[in-house]
Copies of this chain bind each other. A is one copy, B any other.
Amino acid sequence: MKIIIDAMGGDFAPAVVIEGAVAAVKECGAEIILTGDEVKVKELLSKAHYTGDKIIVHHTTEVIDMSEPAALSVRRKKNSSIVVGLNLLKENGGGAFFSAGNTGAVVCAATLILGLLPGAERPGIAIIYPTLKDFSLMVDVGANIDAKPAHILQYAVMADAYCRYELNKKNPSVALLNIGEEETKGTESVKETYNLLSQSKINFMGNIEGKDLFTGKCDIVVCDGFMGNVALKVSEGVASFIYGLLKREFTSSLMSTTAAFLLRANIRRLKKSLDYSEYGGAPLLGVNGVVIIGHGRSSSKAIKNAIRVAKEELECNVKDKMAEALSKLNIAAKKDGREL
């Protein structure tokens, strides 16, 4: 099954996308369709000395920029690398799509073109992030900023399936991002979400505070997309801030520079532990297709890893497992006389 890649998406596209795609073909034998400017893409492929037949280029004439309004650009740019790529995915009836481009546009186009899984009312972006233990999953980090409690329950159910079948975690624990651990904390909407999660069959362990996100206390953190996006970006901000301070300190004298030189392997390892690119992209849960979203600043390594993740998702058939979990959720809700 083919993996379709938006060659024009991301801050360093198309160069790093092509590099990542070529590396993925070599490393895991992925079969790839690149959507983008044929001349540019082919030039870069020959620059990367790629002559095989595992990468096909599908010409597109438009690009949705990183800062364009999502819905409008998707409607207007029918021949963009994102819209064409997702249409190809639909026509192919399988495979996966990856883009490091305009996240809002990918979410919007994927929802419009592929539709949602039965029982999923909104899509949610899940990121895999490092913790002191190993890694956890957080959903939603920005697909849906006006999430209702039922949407967050659906995220939890899909993330549970994702964790079991793609990340090989048995009976993953789920926590709700909140401002305190007590069940009485939070806005009315957050409290209602707590109740829905408590009544569900997932392994719900209660609320989690921001300070515990990185301890590895739970496998899955759920929240609305506004909150999740702020949490994600604050994390990036704090990490950059501490790096900035470390750099300032480590270059402040000859002794500190020397000592920091001795620690270079350790610092490299520390950076690797924090590096999102090790984990590939972020799966878009809830759409009827395998869609992976990359960080705008994705390196070729991040893109290669995201393609590997897409291939694994296809092999594990995670999308169908999520659909199955959602249908069970619906049956349970109907049995209890609840509307979803």
Residues of A within 8 A of B (CB): 67, 69, 131-132, 142, 145-146, 177, 179, 182, 184, 186-188, 190, 209-215, 225-227, 229-242, 244-246, 249-250, 252, 255-256, 258-260, 262-263, 266-267, 269-270, 273-274
Contacts and interface: CB of A to CB of B under 8 A. Distances in A.
A215 B241 CA distance: 7
A56 B137 CA distance: 52
Contacts of A230: 177, 179, 210, 227, 230-231
A210 B187 contact: no
A190 B225 CA distance: 14
Give the residue among A142, A179, A184 with the most B Cβ atoms within 10 A.
A179
A234 B211 contact: yes
Contact of A263 (B215, B249, B270): B249
A226 B190 CA distance: 10
Contacts of A227: 226-227, 230
A186 to B, nearest CB: 7
B270 A262 contact: no
Nearest to A261: B259
A263 B249 CA distance: 9
Contact of A249 (B212, B215, B267): B267
7 contacts: A179-B229, A209-B237, A213-B234, A213-B238, A239-B242, A256-B263, A259-B263
Given A179-B233, A234-B210, A234-B234, A226 B187 contact: yes
A255 B262 CA distance: 7
B214 A240 contact: yes
Contacts of A245: 132, 270, 273-274
Contact of A131 (B146, B179, B241, B274): B241
Contacts of A132: 241, 244-245
Given A214-B241, A242-B274, A269-B249, A234 B236 contact: no
A242 B209 CA distance: 17
Contacts of A231: 210, 230-231, 234
Contact of A211 (B146, B237, B260): B237
Nearest to A238: B238
Contacts of A225: 179
A145 B214 contact: no
A266 B238 contact: no
Contacts of A270: 242, 245-246, 249
Contacts of A188: 146
B182 A145 contact: no
